[in-house]
Amino acid sequence: MRIRMLPVTTAAAMALLATSCASGGEGSSDGGSGALAGEGSGDSCVIEDPVPVGAALSLTGAAASYGESQQKGLEVAIDKIAETEGVSYDLTVEDDATDPKQGITVFEQFISQDQVSVILGPTLSNAAKTTDPIAQEESVPVLGISNTAEGITEIGDYVFRNSLTEAAVIPQTIAKAKETLGLEKVVVMYSNDDAFTESGFKAFESALESEGVEITKTLTFSKADTDFRTLLTDAKAEQPDAVVVSGLIEAAIPLVTQARQLGIDAPIIGGNGFNSPQLMVDAGEAAEGVVVGAAWNSASEGPENAEFLEAFKAKHGSDPDQFAAQAYTGLILVDQAVRAGCSGEREDIKEQLGKLKDVPTALGTFSIDENRDADHAAVVQIVEGGKFTVLD
């Protein structure tokens, strides 16, 4: 793995720049060498040249903590992939500074200068909405490793993702919560001035309906609100089996704290916004009993996850989070796709990514569905003893 700014890498980039200028800068995937097509298949596949992979991550700016996790996850994946011989990867990580405009620059550099075969990222969905069309235009496959907004894979047939959307997680959360907590009637609260939380609310609403759980009351708030006592008093009067909330973490923390202060002991089922360790840090004991669905939890089962946890801890000395797990899995999936077609060409990777089915990964048994979206089981978590544990 290399990160730009190292003198060697810069020299390599200059060389690539020269080639791309020579070839008129057009985004052909063969990069002039033609050595990306290999022989054999699967584990026996041998590709002569390293397959160039670009990762556009937010290493600085508001989303820096996510990008850092992702980078660590990719580092672990590179080590893991190196255990099997035959195919190697030349991974370039670039920082988009949590800025969609910077993301465009990074993507253009990946596509025309670095001639990468596949791009991982970018970290945030709003960046993906501006960068992924560029990759689509140039016929370069993109694998989103953390984008959860709607409309990402609709950008085009070169855009894939391995991150579960909220719409995929919520029905599983509600089904599990109903099964284990015996929900019959709930109160739903959501902030109605934010596109993410509103779509989360719709997902909750239809999931509750299909599970036959009655919504006795729907309460709305603004994403800037911090005083929820009047709403919660209203909710408490309904004596719900659970309070279902679609809100961002900023609202989640005061809401959960105030609910417990008002004596609401029912479980609080949250959307994606609640899926943050910050909840336990800032809400303290009030966070106990909060139920959140997630794409990954360190307690997830399976030997692949156990192997990932161990390798991550050994390399970085800390525990991975969901971002690291999804980034790790992203590169593993790229490796699967490359080996399946035994080719590092853009077109072949695109075709093989779409065919991924029932791959055992750290996220669980993973498939790419017909919409190029992730398909695997979500983990439903409950806060117990100050941390997320698997609800069952």
Partner 1 sequence: MQQILNGLFAGSIYALFAIGFTLVFGVLDRLNLAHSAVFTAAAFVGIELVVTGGLPIWLAIPAVLLFGAILGLIIERLAFRPLKDRHDAHFAGLISSIALGGMVIALLQARYGPDTRRFPADAFPDTAFELAGVRVTLLQIVILAVSIGLMLGLAFLVTRTRLGRGMRAVAENPHAARVLGVNVNRVTATTFAISSALGAVAGVLLALYVNSAQLTMGFNIELKGLAVIIVGGMGSLKGAMVGGLVLGLAEAFAVQYVGSSWRDVVAFGLLFGILLLRPQGMFGARRVREV
Q: Give the interface size with partner 1 as a residue count (CB under 8 A).
A: 29
Nearer to partner 1, 62 or 299 (CB): 62
To partner 1, the closest distance from the beta carbon of 282 in angstroms equals 5
Q: Which stretch binds partner 1 (CB under 8 A): 176-184, 194-202, 233-241, 330-338?
A: 233-241
Among 262, 299, 306, 314, the residue binding partner 1 under the rule CB under 8 A is: 262
**Which residues inside 46-75 make contact with partner 1, applying CB under 8 A?**
62
Among 111, 140, 208, 219, the residue binding partner 1 under the rule CB under 8 A is: 219
To partner 1, the closest distance from the beta carbon of 259 in angstroms equals 11
Q: Which stretch binds partner 1 (CB under 8 A): 7-15, 36-44, 108-116, 215-223?
A: 215-223
- 257 lies in the binding site for partner 1 (CB under 8 A): yes
Q: Which stretch binds partner 1 (CB under 8 A): 9-17, 82-90, 96-104, 231-239?
A: 231-239
To partner 1, the closest distance from the beta carbon of 64 in angstroms equals 11
- 261 lies in the binding site for partner 1 (CB under 8 A): yes
Query: Residue 193: CB partners within 8 Å, gap ≥ 6?
Result: 222, 223
Nearer to partner 1, 256 or 363 (CB): 256
H/E stretch holding 366: strand 364-368
Among 24, 182, 212, 263, the residue binding partner 1 under the rule CB under 8 A is: 263
- 385 lies in the binding site for partner 1 (CB under 8 A): no
Among 152, 186, 286, 327, the residue binding partner 1 under the rule CB under 8 A is: 286
Go through 251-264 and write b for each residue having 16 or more CB atoms within 10 A of its CB, e for each that does not: bbbbbbbbbbeeeb
To partner 1, the closest distance from the beta carbon of 361 in angstroms equals 32
Among 63, 266, 283, 378, the residue binding partner 1 under the rule CB under 8 A is: 283
Nearer to partner 1, 120 or 255 (CB): 255
Distance separating alpha carbons of residues 32 and 349, to the nearest angstrom: 18
The encoded tokens of residue 387 equal 């941390």
- 229 lies in the binding site for partner 1 (CB under 8 A): yes
**Which residues inside 166-195 make contact with partner 1, applying CB under 8 A?**
192
The encoded tokens of residue 278 equal 């910050």
Amino acid at 310: E
Among 33, 230, 371, 389, the residue binding partner 1 under the rule CB under 8 A is: 230
To partner 1, the closest distance from the beta carbon of 327 in angstroms equals 23
Go through 73-112 and write b for each residue having 16 or more CB atoms within 10 A of its CB, e for each that does not: bbbbbbebbeeeebbbbbbbbbbbbbbbebbbebbbbbbb
Query: Residue 331: CB partners within 8 Å, gap ≥ 6?
Result: 53, 74, 77, 78, 81, 89, 91, 120
Cβ pair 343, 47 in contact under 8 A:
yes
Q: Which stretch binds partner 1 (CB under 8 A): 117-125, 161-169, 282-290, 321-329?
A: 282-290
Go through 134-146 and write b for each residue having 16 or more CB atoms within 10 A of its CB, e for each that does not: bbbebbbbbbbbb
- 367 lies in the binding site for partner 1 (CB under 8 A): no
- Which of 61, 199, 57, 156 is CA-nearest to residue 371? 156
H/E stretch holding 159: strand 159-161
Among 55, 231, 244, 327, the residue binding partner 1 under the rule CB under 8 A is: 231
CB atoms within 10 A of CB 12: 16
To partner 1, the closest distance from the beta carbon of 133 in angstroms equals 28
Distance separating alpha carbons of residues 177 and 52, to the nearest angstrom: 43
- 221 lies in the binding site for partner 1 (CB under 8 A): yes
Sheet holding 374-375, edge to edge: 359-361, 364-368, 374-375
Distance between alpha carbon 363 and the CA centroid of its chain, in Å?
A: 11
The encoded tokens of residue 310 equal 């161990």
Q: Which stretch binds partner 1 (CB under 8 A): 26-34, 37-45, 99-107, 276-284?
A: 276-284
H/E stretch holding 21: helix 7-22
Report the interface residues with partner 1, using CB under 8 A.
Answer: 62, 192, 219-221, 224, 226-227, 229-231, 233-234, 236, 250, 253-254, 257-258, 260-263, 281-286
